[in-house]
Structure 1
Amino acid sequence: MRITFFVYRLQRDRLMTTEFYRQDVEILRSLGHEVHIATRLREVPKQTDVVFLWWWNWLWLVGPVLKLRGLPIVVTGSLEPDIYEQKPWYYRLLVRAGLRFADRSVFVSQYMIDRLSAMMPLKDPLYCPHIVLDAYRPAGAENTRALPNVIFNVCWKTKNNVRRKMQPELIEAFALLRRDLPNAQLLLAGEPVDGQAALERRCAELGLGESVQFLGKISREEKISYMQRCGAYFQCSRHEGFGLALAEAMACGAPVVVNHNTAIPEVVGDCGYYVDDESPASIAKSLKRALTQPAEAQALGARAAARIDSEFRFDRRRTFLAAVLDGVHPEAHAIEPARRAA
């Protein structure tokens, strides 16, 4: 089948450096399909059987054009309710209008379906979560943490994302933690955009010095290495459509410190340290527990890795998307995919 993998108006260099795009391209190619990449309507080839579109926010614009060409559209990604309900009325209207053009809508969390269903009519919503690639594994069978004093986090550092990922609260919590654990270190990875400078200034004001390192954009191999070795991975967030970096850390056996918001409990289950509330003091308390009880943290990280293996690996999404694509392709027998991937 000839599939156009379409992410409208995305910079092409982000397609293969953003994990969830790369995962789905790999899945489609592993199914034996010919995959063409497009970021503009003019780049969608004439000889296309199905358009596999990431994100619903531009469907109102590209959907009518693709439908005039008679193309089936499968849409996936996150349509986060917490972001959607804060948008202007005209944005919400356009998103709702665009939903009609999707032949299949594949959401990555059940939380998203439940919340959105209360806001708007969803056309045959399907659930299949993100997956974690096999490269993300614990370093060894014992899940020994080689950097037991290190707290690690990956976050794209735009102003909005820094706030969403609770980076200021993390820095305040780390300052409190250092009073009891002066050898603790905080490693913050992620492209330094317009939100990083304020974090660096606050670290200086708190006198944290070299105990906090901003690593910038790192390779996948470096990210995996830190996730395999860190004493704790932090991902409290105001809202998550899924939480892929969190799942990757779990797959590497990292003890994760999280909150109860939105889709995070779907990913973590009972395999993480949940903060009591989102105050710096509460975050510091959970981080301290992860760093000072290594046997417990190591065992919890091993359970987290086992959870990822059973719930969020490549074959689950691959099997699901194979059925979805067969169901929308005009020359194939209709296959109604399960509401949840097996």
Structure 2
Amino acid sequence: MKIVHVITSIDPDSGGPQAVVMRLAAAQANLGHDVRVVSQADDRTLARVARLGAAIPGFAQVVWHILPPPGVVEAILCLKARPFLTQILADTQHVHLHGVWEPILACAAAIAARNGVPYCVCPAGMLDTWSLAQKPWRKRLALAMGCRRMLDGAAFLHALNHDEVKLMRPLHLKAPAEIIPNGIFVEEFERLPSTADFPALIGLPVERRFVLFLSRLHYKKGLDLLANAFQLVARQCPDVDLVVAGPDGGAEDDFRDLVRRFGLERRVFMVGPIYGETKLQAFVSAACFCLPSRQEGFSIAITEALACGTPVVISDACHFPEVATAGAGAVVSLDPMDIAKAMIDVLLHPLAATAMGYNGRRLVFENYTWPRIAHRTLGLYEAYRPAAASIGLTAANDSCS
């Protein structure tokens, strides 16, 4: 099967969907399929993607079709993207769109529909009630200008969890929703680095422990909530610091202001974005991972923390209740007091925290792996294949037997 994934940007600093596309495409290619990715990137971004992809099983088998970063006119009208997509999608069996609001996605959907090619859309949480409330007039306009047509014309909507399905219902979209979570490659997490490597890298004394936040520094990730919670943790746990890792998404300055206001400058380490082996070192060294996000689809960072055996404290807006069910960590409200209490509970009970880490690793290894998820996507592609295409495929298989 020829599968084409379309995502506007493949820049690793842009967040989880980029990491998802890299790994889902690789997992599908590993199963013997012709998998392509269409995106927009400059040479520097492509070089970074190639370096990170070297550790992903099957990544080298994925074919990349890259357009240069668009200007304003190209981003809106897709004058270069349209013929580019028309050529690539000509003999495709399924198109997988990642995102909602960018015109290139609606353009790809229109071309696929014209060619009778089924496509699905992964909104990645962009259509839940919290997300739609951010700059709502822009999103209402985008829906009216073509995004709703794209969504309604999809074979199915790729939802990341049960909550996302419920939170999209107020839009009354015509396409059915199918749940496909994110995951990990077991190969990336079987042999973990030493717990001593990362503290040494950032100059953290060996007797100090730390809570890790790893994500984009964006308002929705709850950095302000984390700062308020950590000031309480710092009082109860004098040997614990906070490490904040990730690219700035607009909230870094406000977070630094809170750190100064609370007098935590010596207790908070801002290390910027980290990837690959350094990211794994950070996860395995952390006493606790915390993501008090206001909105998530299916966080790659949480999944990777669990795979590293690190207990997690996450908000209920992360839509990952399985963490609490499996005993892998705490799922809390967006109240800083609740966040702090959960972190302190993990930090003051190391034996229970170790058990949480074991439970989290088992949860991910048994339920959230990319090969398993790739099989799920392929089954759905086939299930939603137009009847005529399915008959033709069966006839072709019969003639070859």
**Equivalent position of 1:54 in the other structure:** 98
2:373 to 314, 317, 321: 317
Distance 1:235 1:15 in 2: 17
1:29 deviates by 1.0
**Equivalent position of 2:224 in the other structure:** 168
**Equivalent position of 1:67 in the other structure:** 113
CA separation of 1:300 and 1:203: change in aligned 2, threshold 3 A: same
**Equivalent position of 1:126 in the other structure:** 178
Q: Is the 8 A contact 2:185 2:371 kept in 1?
A: no
1:15 deviates by 9.0
Please list the CA deviations of residues 27-46 of structure 1 after superposition, one character each: whole Å capped at 9, or x if unmatched.
22112222222134443214
**Equivalent position of 2:147 in the other structure:** 95
2:214 to 151, 154, 166: 154
CA separation of 1:292 and 1:124: change in aligned 2, threshold 3 A: same
Q: What pairs up with 1:222-261 in 2 under 5 angstroms?
A: 222-261=278-317
Please list the CA deviations of residues 93-126 of structure 1 after superposition, one character each: whole Å capped at 9, or x if unmatched.
4433222321232211111112213431342221
Distance 1:320 1:130 in 2: 11
Query: In structure 1, what residue type is equivalent to 2:367?
Result: E
Q: Is the 8 A contact 2:292 2:313 kept in 1?
A: yes
Equivalences, count: 326
Q: What pairs up with 1:1-342 in 2 under 5 angstroms?
A: 1-7=1-7, 9-10=8-9, 18-39=18-39, 40-44=81-85, 45=88, 46-58=90-102, 59-78=105-124, 79-81=126-128, 82-86=130-134, 87-88=136-137, 89-93=140-144, 94-134=146-186, 135-137=188-190, 139=192, 149-157=209-217, 161=218, 163-261=219-317, 263-266=319-322, 268-274=324-330, 277-327=333-383, 328=385, 331-332=389-390
CA separation of 1:80 and 1:250: change in aligned 2, threshold 3 A: farther
Q: Runs ≥4 in structure 1, deviation > 6 angstroms?
A: 13-17
Query: In structure 2, what residue type is equivalent to 1:48?
Result: T
Q: Is the 8 A contact 1:239 1:261 kept in 2?
A: yes
Distance 1:333 1:299 in 2: 51
Please list the CA deviations of residues 122-153 of structure 1 after superposition, one character each: whole Å capped at 9, or x if unmatched.
4222111111221135849xxxxx98721001
Distance 1:271 1:232 in 2: 14
Q: Is the 8 A contact 2:225 2:335 kept in 1?
A: yes
Query: Gapped runs of 5+ residues in structure 1?
Result: 141-145, 336-342
Distance 1:300 1:117 in 2: 34
Distance 2:244 2:117 in 1: 43
Partner of 2:266: helix, strand, or coil?
A: helix
Distance 1:16 1:155 in 2: 8
CA separation of 1:246 and 1:129: change in aligned 2, threshold 3 A: same
Bigger relative contact order, structure 1 or 2 (CA pairs below 8 A, ≥6 apart)? 1
1:286 deviates by 1.5
Q: Is the 8 A contact 2:328 2:358 kept in 1?
A: no
Q: Is the 8 A contact 1:48 1:71 kept in 2?
A: yes
1:301 deviates by 1.4
Distance 2:3 2:112 in 1: 13
Tell me the percent identity.
19
1:273 deviates by 4.0
CA separation of 1:38 and 1:164: change in aligned 2, threshold 3 A: same
Query: In structure 1, what residue type is equivalent to 2:327?
Result: C
CA separation of 1:138 and 1:178: change in aligned 2, threshold 3 A: farther
1:314 deviates by 1.9
CA separation of 1:35 and 1:202: change in aligned 2, threshold 3 A: same
Please list the CA deviations of residues 4-63 of structure 1 after superposition, one character each: whole Å capped at 9, or x if unmatched.
2211x3256769993212111112211222222213444321443332211233454432
TM-score (norm 1): 0.84
CA separation of 1:137 and 1:211: change in aligned 2, threshold 3 A: farther
- How big is the alpha-carbon RMSD for the aligned residues of Structure 1 and Structure 2? 2.9
Distance 2:133 2:379 in 1: 32
Distance 2:363 2:191 in 1: 13
Query: In structure 2, what residue type is equivalent to 1:265?
Result: P
Partner of 2:257: helix, strand, or coil?
A: helix
Q: Is the 8 A contact 1:138 1:251 kept in 2?
A: no
Partner of 2:248: helix, strand, or coil?
A: coil
The structure with more helix, counted as a fraction of residues: 2
Partner of 1:248: helix, strand, or coil?
A: helix
